[in-house]
Amino acid sequence: MTAVINFKIDKKIKTQAQKIAHAMGLNLSDVLNIYLRGFVKVKELHISLNEDESNPSDKLLEAVKEARKEFKGGKMKSCKSIDSLITRLEKM
């Protein structure tokens, strides 16, 4: 069973989204269905208010720097496979 959702959006955004979706072999209905299914599954809203994703914040850069330092110092462990990662996480 399907339902219809109507909402208003800037015409320019709609046109841009349609072009991107079309290039991926999708239409906007497909895109919104995929997004809403993910939203329901994880119960989280993933948005970015940063218009330039390629320009990370100083806080993020510092966190990455610290994580690399910890990894090089042996404070982090790696897993050889997804299965070993899942096993390790289940034991936590």
Domain ranges across the chain: 11-42, 58-91
Tens digit of pLDDT for each residue in 10-24?
Answer: 999 999 999 989 998
CB 45 within 8 A of CB 39: yes
| CA angle, residues 31, 27, 34, in degrees to nearest 5 | 20
Residue pair 15/29 in contact by the 8 Å Cβ criterion: no
pLDDT tens digits, one per residue of 40-85: 999 888 776 666 666 677 888 888 888 888 888 888 777 788 888 8
Question: What pTM does this model have?
Answer: 0.50
